[in-house]
Structure 1
Amino acid sequence: MASEPTVEQIIACMAQREWSHAIAICAQLLKDNPEQQEVYPLLAKAYANQGDFDKAITAYHISLGNQPEQAQICAELGLLYSKQKKFTQAISNYQKAIALKPTWAEIYYNLAVIWHEVGDWEQTITAYQQAVKHKPNYTAAYFNLGLLYDNRGQWNEAVANYQRAIELQPYNIRAYSNLGSTLARHQKYESAIEVLQQGLKIDPTWATLHNNLGQVLWLEGRLDQALVSFELALSLEPDMVLANHNLSRLWQQESNYDRAFSYLQEVTELEPNNSSAHNNCLSILLKKGNLQAAIPHWQYLISIRPEFVDYYLKQATKLNADNLLAQGKIACANFIKAIRENSDKSQIHHHLWKTLFYWGEMLFDYGGVGINRAEIYYQYALDIKPDEVELYLRLGNCFKKQNRTNAAISMYQMGLCLQSNHPQISFQLAKLLEKPHSSSLAIEDNEDTVILPPSNQSTSSNKLQNLFKEEKDLAPLPQAIYHYTHDWIRNCQIEDYNYVEISWPGTSTQANKLKQIASEPITDIDTTTSNLNCTGVHCPKCISELIELFEPRQIAKNVYQLIPDKFPQIDSPLPFVVTIPQGKAWIAPYKNAWVVCNGLAVMTPDGYLLGDLSRYYLWFLPNCPYKHQKDHILYQLDSLPKTTKLDGKVALLSAMSGHVYYHWMFDILPRLDLIKKSGISWDSIDWFVVNNIDKDFQTETLNYLGIPLNKVILSDHDSLIQAEELIVPSFPGYQDWVPEGSINFLRDVFLAKVNLDNEKYPQKIYISRSRSSSRHVINEKEVVEKLTPLGFQTVFLEELSLTEQIALFANAKVIMSTHGSGLTNLVFCSPDTIVIELFSPHYVRTYYWIIAQQLKLKYYYYLGEVFDCKFLRDLMYQNSLTEDILVNFKSLNAVLKLAGIIT
């Protein structure tokens, strides 16, 4: 007679991993006695080990139904639900287990893993901290805390946790590796090397440590030692992708492209989907001029994120080829289509050449730092079509603008070798060979210079004779630059000037001590902007440092939050208003969609340019160490427009990009308040100079302020003015850094005129940029479908008057928007308004952060998905400012949850 089944038999079967036998015994026992509670957990465990999680969960729930206070069962359920990716149920069961057993460190650890999986980094940190609180020697928890803090950019906390992990487990090689990498990322190279070498003493055979040591040595400039470390890593682990990739990058830096490419081929064989390797292959192949071999790499990189290219091609079909920007986008779209369709090599080359040529034309037209980028595009185009004579003209013109005279002469001569009678090249070359550099500029006459497209160049020289200027037609440039108007005031011999400093919230008298740095004018003026140590508002180093001043906290993947009351302390000099008798001003006029006002210069009657009143792109950010420039875009002009002389008092208000809502509101309007605070009545002013008033918001705001439109002079039409009495208010703060005084002025003036108690305005708004020219959300349709059921209303600000926009933002409780001028209206928000700003991962700016912090808004920002093909990305967008954004819905859900919008 067979023996009766027992619990002991089940345990014995499970010890032998006989899961089916154990399940059969459990079934028999429960058939005989369904109330035998100790069997259900064993049955659940057997099912779980067989991979039948649903039956395991059912068995655990039966056990809990009979005895609900079982911490172990809750924990097992949490584990099973997490394996099924049912994170809400997993979290709930882990929390029940913790409620029953509050000191259970391992459950806190498991809960932290789930919180990290769902993207809530704050909860993740809290759970890990609880784990180490209840188990102070929990090495794995310290290590994971180090990883998390590292990802959030909290490097001090990361270092402390890695060090604690090493202290508890001195042979934890991964902790040495991560600690060394973290120290290196924050330029603590010697400490990083020391840590990595300590790890190698413990295990000299771990290839990752050698690779990481090589990276740090490379950053320190010790290339020979770095090379040894990388090669040693490969000898220990021949298939190590990172070491192969680092060796390729090192040899690429040394211009040994063949050797670099051989390592990249190894990487792509080991990891065919390594996008970074494909990008580097592209870079080398393009440098070598091997476009045909580059095509498969382009095709692969497009296939990773086809949404970007699909959207770009769709938008290109809507364009009219009536300007360079549209022509460039259409050519680029044709190039991408040719790659996708594996078209004939000649077609691919033709479309790429056209794209490069149009972008070169556009950037040259932009001027300033655009000249440097135009040169790069023209050079690429020349590599494709070395017999295209127009490219020699364009490159020669670039070199001429950069004062690289010998290079310009050589380029023009090479062009003449292809076409000896080319009129424009002949003219430009003769001009360079005949005339020394002059400190004067030609004054434009009434007949425009005609530049023909490449296919329509005329051999006639009739159009060229008007380009030769006689001495009487030359206008003198400023002889020197004063960094500070205050210094010119102190030294000048002119009477009837007036200079008043204004007390303005958000500025500091302490900062005015900077004026003592350079009390004498700068006479050795650099007439190019090509050798700057900083690229101003686009300088990666300055932008990164400015972002760090806010200490944004990463709270989920690609999701960040500004810490309330974390306000960067940057001393902005006190603003001032100066009156200059017979003062002059040049304001770059709007040309087209890509060449808006990119500079302005204020000049004194005795021949000086005033640096703190004169700006040009790319102007510096508030934390820039190179604030005292020795150049200005004015000195790069080929000619000056004719001077418009204005009688009476003339207030200069025009600003860079003054046609844009953000700059109009923050760089132009507050300066009217500075004038008033200086003691000058607006009524006493005869003329107000602004960029233009062709947009509704410009006329609306001026009408609000009581500025008569018949007193407005448009600098787009009269770009060089001389005033009997030029009144120039300084800019109220640094470029793209809005001081408190500007915010107060706008709120005081405009909020008072708006009915804020209007129930027609929604509390949750999503601002669409789909009608703007750039920076679209690629999957906006899906985003709106997600937001609408949550109570969001999609808004197109272009449809609203200024008053309606102000009321909309003043009433809103939650605002989501792509980065753009529409967020200027945050200045009208109430405290605690939730703001979610969407950025391209390649274009994060702090413009609205400073407003959010001053008004105590709850600010979050989200980074879109990466289009990981730098060459194509640069070709499509030219500037990261214009990049489109692809929203990841997991990250979108995370920010909505963390902001308290969904549960």
Structure 2
Amino acid sequence: MSVEQLLKLAQDNLSKGNQDRAFAICREIISQQPNCAIAYQLLGNIHEDHGQLMAAMSAYTKAFELAPNQAISYAYLAQIYRNMGWFDEAISFYQQAIDLSPNWADLHYHLGSALHWQGNIEGAIGCYEKAIALNPKLGQAYLDMGLRLNERGDIDTAIKVLQQGGINCPNFQEIFNTLGYLQLQQNQIDEAIAIFQESLNIDPTEPLVYNNLGWALACQGKLSEAIAAYEKAISLKPDLAIAYSNLGKLWQQKNNHRQAISYFQKAIAIEPDNIMFYSDCGSSCLIIGWLSQAMACFQKAIAIDPKFVQGYIQRFNQDVILEVGSDELLQAQIACAQFLEALQKSDLELGNSENSQESDHNVTEVPDAVYNYLEATYLHLGNTLNQYGEWDAAIRYYQRALRIKPQKIQTYLDLASCLAKQGRLQAAITVCHTAGVIEYSPEVYWLLGSLLEAQGRWELAIAYYSKVLENQETAENLTTVSQEWRDTGTISTGEIPRPQQPPQGVYQKTQAWLQANNIDTSHYIPIPTVAQQPPSAELDNVGGRECGGLDCSPCRERIFAGFEVSNLGYGIQRRVADAKTVEVPFETFVASIPQGRCWIVPQENHWKVCRAIATITPDNQLLADLSREYPAPLPGCTNYNPEKHWIFRQTKLCPPQYIDGTVAVLSGLSGHIYFHWMVDILPRWELMRRVGVDFNQIDGFVVNSARLPFQRETLRRLGIAESKIIESDRYPHIQARQLLVPSFASPTGWLQPWGLDFLRGTFLPLATGDNHDYPNRIYVSRAQARHRRVLNEEQVMAQLSRLGFVRVLPEKLSFSQQVALFSRAEIVIGPHGSGLTNLVFCQPGVRVVELMSPHYDRHYYWVISQALGLEHYSLTGDGFSCYPLRSLMYQNPLTEDIWVNLTGLEKILEKLEIR
């Protein structure tokens, strides 16, 4: 038999799965013709099928040596290297194969796959495009290109590519399934359902399509049809865990948590390492009070992904020492760390909900320490939110604490007090009665008396007061302290004013109020810093929602549509925009309000910051364009309603300190934070300078505080004498004969190019006389920050220090030293935080890597980077997927710590060619 005949026989046996026979034939061919490259290629195929990659590589290498001009030999070697994870070698061989056979579409496709696995998404997309151009029927190329475009964030183009793929490859079901999935992401529900149904026409037995169809139907509120689709998916594939999970979520929506738990447990049984299944199951268990079952779910979730929790525990165990009565939020965080540590050390087994429908399940006994620390966490969080004025959230935490320790009288008192602050007096009375059933408490009776008194139920109130007064010692301890209004005597003149009522109305525009009161035009000076564009019709059509602040998805999509976003794999993202996108329309002016007042919420601790600012006219109207609050809207938002400003939630205001002179207001939201001080506060001074204000004629400048070194140093640079500084943290309500109020310089946290020029022109000269030898590669640490720390910073620094990076703590430097340091930097890496504000002092072209949490993305520093011409990248860290525990650790994504993915860090360093 000839070699050609033997080759055909070997190929036939290989195609039929007779690998041993094919192997023997190949060896016979080689014995007859040692230089037969095809035989070695077939041997490589056989070894590869058996998972013998090194033997396969040896065979393919021999084939390559025998036939160096055959593209298939390079392709086989590339495939082996790709499967072994050696992507650089795989890419090299694919490129050599393409050089020999440039019109082979599959080669371009496989090169794209290798580039994708390497993290080069842009390169992968280009290869898929070439593959499709060469072979428009290559369905897998459409599918992968659509997936990569979606990964890059270009979901609209991804949908178009998949739609074209569906036309050219009408029998490729996975294209239709993925297309429908992406349309669901875009809220194109009807289109998605149509696509899923078309996919089922191709193959009515595909369970994943039924699962996705169920999701789409659930989005339409067709829950019964969704359940039927999920159940169909399960009947076709009984081990389809995602379908059980989706059924569980659907029953969660219907508030049937027992049924939801049953499905989540089935999903867990199939995929016991899926952290989201435990998260969902634990969440439902918490809601219905199955605490032991919830603790077991969360313990399993921690065991699957322990690093984030371990980092959190280490952080709050190693560097925090508390005294009695210290910060409530900090106490909550420490209690949470102790809870997580106790839970992590527990060995709990999940019960079976089917065997216990009316009570908690047969779970290994949960240690008392777990519940004690959890209750303490809930209690301190309730106290924190109560102090902050977020009473709904505080009430939820008090209720959770009582679920664990229902005998604790103080928690009932806190809950009742919180309800009373909301005006829910009857609910507060009910809570007090519940506490009174548990045990006699003079504190509860005293609170009951005051609540009944507020309702005008005098006889009952007197009865409860009398019960307390029967015990003279107890009565003395319960003496109420009336609210006192203190006059510091340092600013106010004349009589001590009485408490004020909140404003009675709202003026959207300061200019309109001045005109309505016939105040001459010199009291309002517009400043053309940027183009003043009215809101577009598109913006007007998004009404009907409440303002979502910086997290408002429609506003974010609209504002950042001009940014070219590139996802480069491994959590690396590059954003580029032109000057027009960075410079947003915003009305700037300086106004003078005769007898005007400013009310500025003071900072009370590190988390209770300035959350609202109100400028009030002498006829008690709020000037909306000179007032702010959190959540701060993004540029162009038309859904913010100033009539819901925080000031209208106050029953009365402290009396204003009166100044018989001219006072300029510069304070801003979160004005004690370095970023907001530089970006939102100081540029307001520049607005006054631009209209020619004579600063010598100003009797006082209102800023949030001047206690921090950077505040004092920057104010001195602006020529503001310390004697003229008025701290709104000390005097939250001020009235002046003339209140001079520059408008806000821009939307909150959005540094306009003119503001950037002001900061650089004013403060960069500070660096000229500094001859210190500063490093040019810096890592900006938040190791001493209250939140958003890098939990694995030591591992990060071990990687960076080898490349010459130096860790810096900006708060340890003077302001002028920070300016000098960043003005000489060449590469800046650091977590999102105030330290990166100093990017404003960098030279154009500096490379920046901003480390981000997956749940907190802000525009602050990439807007600055675009305006200044910096090369800005972000690296998104690993998150903790167990959302019930994550929300306990971090009540706001703003505070969430960061776990840097070291592989992603290595890749971005390689991309920037940092050696």
Compute the TM-score of the two structures, normalised by the length of structure 2: 0.87
Inter-CA distance 538–12: structure 2 relative to 1 (3 Å threshold): closer
Mean CA deviation greater in 776-785 or 412-421 = 412-421
Partner Cα separation in structure 2 for residue 360 and residue 497 of structure 1? 49
Report 1:532-543 matches (<5 A). 533-539=546-552, 542-543=555-556
* Distance change >3 Å, CA 280–CA 81, structure 1 → 2: same
Residue type at the aligned position of 1:324: E
Secondary structure, counterpart of 2:506 in structure 1: strand
Distance 1:155 1:89 in 2: 31
Matched, 1:371 2:412: no
By how many angstroms is 1:207 displaced? 2.4
Compared CA separation, residues 461 and 783, structure 1 to 2 (3 A)? closer
- Is contact 1:22–1:46 with CA below 8 Å preserved after alignment? no
Q: Which amino acid aligns with 1:352?
A: L
The answer for the alignment partner of 1:350 in structure 2 is 372
Which residue of 1 is the match for residue 510 of structure 2?
485
> CA contact under 8 A between 1:112 and 1:125: conserved in structure 2?
yes
CA gap 1:255/1:459 in 2 versus in 1, 3 angstroms: farther
Give the direction of change, closer, same or farther, for the CA distance of 1:551–1:398 in structure 2 (3 Å limit). Answer: farther
- 1:692 counterpart SS class: coil
Equivalent residues of 2:579, 2:867 under 8 A apart: no
The equivalent residue for 1:520 is: none
Q: Give the secondary structure class of the aligned counterpart of 1:280.
A: helix
Change (3 A) 1:264 1:566: farther
Distance in 1 separating the partners of 2:186 and 2:536? 32
Distance in 2 (alpha carbons) for counterparts of 1:258 and 1:566: 55
Matched residue, 1:326 = 330
| Contact 1:26–1:39 (CA under 8 A) maintained in structure 2 | yes
- Displacement after TM superposition at 1:371 (Å): 2.4
Q: Deviations over 1:209-237 (max 9, x none)?
A: 22212211211222233233223333333
Aligned to 2:694: 681
Q: Deviations over 1:358-382 (max 9, x none)?
A: 0111111122xx3232122112112
For 1:401, the equivalent position in structure 2 comes to: 421
Of 338, 344, 347 in structure 2, the residue corresponding to residue 340 of structure 1 is 344
Q: After superposition, what is the alpha-carbon deviation per residue over 1:424-464, rounded to whole angstroms, capped at 9, x for unaligned? A: 5235414531499xxxxxxxxxxxxxxxxxxxx96546531
> How far apart are the structure 1 equivalents of 2:498 and 2:711?
36
Aligned residues: 860
Q: Is the 8 A contact 1:320 1:326 kept in 2?
A: no
Maintained 8 Å contact 2:342/2:370: yes
1:209 alignment partner, SS class:
helix
2:529 and 2:648 map into 1 onto residues whose CA distance is: 33
Deviation at residue 240 of structure 1 after TM alignment:
2.3
Letter in 2 for 1:377: Y
Q: Distance in 1 between matches of 2:334 and 2:115?
A: 45
Equivalent position of 2:147 in the other structure: 147
Deviation string 1:692-717 (CA, Å, 9 cap, x unpaired) is 11211111111222221221111111
Rounded Cα–Cα distance in structure 2 between residues aligned with 1:378 and 1:495: 54
Q: 1:421 aligns with which of 438, 442, 448?
A: 442
Aligned partner of 2:253 in structure 1 is 253
| Residues 718 and 458 of structure 1: CA distance in aligned 2, closer, same or farther (over 3 Å) | farther
Aligned 8 A contact 1:588 1:597 in 2: yes
Mapped pair 1:21 → 2:24: yes
How far residue 51 of structure 1 moved from its aligned partner, in angstroms, is: 4.3
C-alpha contact (below 8 Å) 1:692/1:715 kept by paired residues: yes
Note if contact 1:580-1:604 (Cα within 8 Å) is conserved in structure 2: yes
Structure 2 matches for 1:35-46, cutoff 5 A?
A: 41=41, 44=44
Candidates 649, 654, 669, aligned match of 1:641: 654
1:538 to 1:400, Cα distance in 2 relative to 1, 3 A: farther
Q: In structure 1, how many angstroms separate the alpha carbons of the residues matched to 2:549 and 2:12? A: 68
From the superposition, tell whether residues 546 and 260 of structure 1 become closer, same or farther in structure 2 (CA, over 3 Å): farther
Matched, 1:361 2:386: no
TM-score by length of 1: 0.88
Which stretch of structure 1 is more off in the superposition, 93-102 or 53-62?
53-62
Superposition deviation, residue 843 in structure 1: 0.9
Counterpart mapping for 1:745-760 below 5 A? 745-755=758-768, 760=773
- Is residue 2:572 matched to residue 1:559? yes
SS in 1 for 2:598: strand
Provide the residue aligned with 1:861 in structure 2: 874
CA distance in 2, matches of 1:513, 1:240: 46
Q: What corresponds to 2:129 in structure 1?
A: 129
Counterpart of 1:216 in structure 2: which amino acid?
A: A
Residue 190 in structure 1 maps to residue 212 in structure 2 = no
CA distance in 2, matches of 1:94, 1:895: 24
CA apart distance, 1:575: 0.9
Q: What corresponds to 2:409 in structure 1?
A: 389
State whether residues 26 and 43 of structure 1, in contact with CA within 8 Å, keep that contact through their aligned partners in structure 2: no
Partner deviation per Cα, 1:63-89 (whole Å, 9 max, x = no partner): 555764442222221112112221111
**Mapped partners of 2:907, 2:777: distance in 1:** 17
Structure 1 position 636, deviation (Å): 3.3
Which of the numbers 532, 551, 554 marks the counterpart of 1:508?
A: 532
State the partner residue of 1:613: 626
The 1:852–1:577 alpha-carbon spacing in structure 2 relative to 1, beyond 3 Å, is same
| Structure 1 residue 23: Cα displacement | 6.5
Instruction: Note if contact 2:547-2:640 (Cα within 8 Å) is conserved in structure 1.
Output: no
- Distance in 2 separating the partners of 1:778 and 1:617: 28
CA drift of 1:297 comes to 0.6
- 1:880 to 2:893 alignment: yes
Structure 2 residue runs of 5 or longer lacking an equivalent are: 14-18, 347-364, 459-472, 486-495
| Structure 1: distance between partners of 2:896 and 2:192 | 36
Question: Which position in structure 2 is the counterpart of 1:447?
Answer: none
1:313 to partner: Cα distance: 1.5
TM-superposed deviation, 1:186: 0.6
Q: Which amino acid aligns with 1:421?
A: P
Displacement after TM superposition at 1:541 (Å): 5.7
Residue 85 of structure 2 corresponds to which residue in structure 1? 85
Matching of residue 297 in structure 1 with residue 300 in structure 2: no
CA–CA distance in structure 2, aligned partners of residues 435 and 476 of structure 1: 26
Inter-CA distance 424–639: structure 2 relative to 1 (3 Å threshold):
farther
- Give the structure 1 partner of residue 462 of structure 2: none
For residues 272-311 of structure 1, the aligned pairs below 5 Å read 272-311=272-311
Deviations 1:378-408 (A, max 9, x none): 1211222233333333223333333444434
How far residue 585 of structure 1 moved from its aligned partner, in angstroms, is 1.4
The 3 A distance-change label for structure 1 pair 431 and 128 is: farther
CA distance in 1, matches of 2:456, 2:499: 17
In the TM superposition, what are the counterparts of 1:842-857 in structure 2 within 5 Å?
842-857=855-870
> Secondary structure of 2:532's match?
coil
Match of 1:444 in 2: none
- The 8 Å contact of residues 496 and 581 in structure 1, kept in 2 or not, is answered as no
In the aligned structure 1, how far is the partner of 2:310 from the partner of 2:812? 28
Partner of 1:499: 524
Q: CA deviation at 1:727?
A: 0.7
SS across alignment from 1:848:
helix
Pairwise CA distance, 1:599: 1.6
Listed as ranges, the gaps of 5+ residues in structure 1 are: 437-456, 518-530
Deviation at residue 49 of structure 1 after TM alignment: 5.2
Q: Which amino acid aligns with 1:21?
A: A
Q: Is the 8 A contact 2:502 2:650 kept in 1?
A: no
Aligned partner of 1:831 in structure 2 is 844
